[in-house]
Amino acid sequence: MTRDTLGDVGNLVLRLVTGGLMLFHGADKLMHGLDHVRSDLAAAGLPTALAHGVYVGEILAPICIIFGLWTRVSAVVYAGSIALAVAIVHGRDFARLAPTGAWAAELWVFYILCPVVIALLGGGRFSLDRLLLPRVSAVERDG
């Protein structure tokens, strides 16, 4: 395998894992509803209608990331959605340690930074972007 191929395979693995793990969060919201999201938003003084954005950030964007469709935009939407959720619900984790001694926010940092890396890399060779958006793919490929 060439270095470029390994990079594209690495990009694919990153997209599959990042999108796949977030789908569990979205599936939970589909199965159990948005009541807890609404209450978190209300407690933060934000409109509860924003709760429906969870479906975009935790279901639609991860699916697009997995397939490499509108990858950069989807990754930014995903990262923004998680950053908002973390700020509202887990903001105090950034200033404390977990009972294990680890940084309490480390998981949330991964959930925010993985899509940031995907947004920087783009979809790569193994993506629908490459097939459906050849002009965007050419820019990614040629710089």
User: What would the pLDDT profile of 54-109 be if each residue is shown by its tens digit?
Assistant: 999 999 999 999 999 999 999 999 999 999 999 999 888 888 999 999 998 998 99
28: in domain? yes
The structure's pTM equals 0.88
pLDDT above 70 as % of the chain? 94
Give the dihedral sign, CA 77/79/80/86: positive
- 46 within a domain of the structure (yes/no): yes
Model confidence band, residue 138 (pLDDT cutoffs 50, 70, 90): low
Asked if the structure places residue 121 within a domain, the reply is: yes
In one letter, which amino acid is 140? E
Task: Single out the residue of 116, 115, 46, 119 nearest to residue 85, CA to CA.
Answer: 46
- 142, part of any domain: no
Total structural domains within the chain: 1
Q: Judge whether 29 lies within some domain.
A: yes
Q: Given this model, what pLDDT does residue 133 score?
A: 80
The answer to whether position 113 is within a domain reads: yes
CB 22 within 8 A of CB 134: no
Structural domain harbouring 90? 3-137
Residue 111 placed within a domain: yes
Terminal-to-terminal C-alpha distance of the chain: 22
Half-sphere exposure of 52 (CA within 13 A, CB side): 2
Instruction: Find where tokens 């709760």 sit.
Output: 51
Report if residue 143 sits inside a domain.
Answer: no
- CA nearest to 56, candidates 31, 86, 14, 22: 22
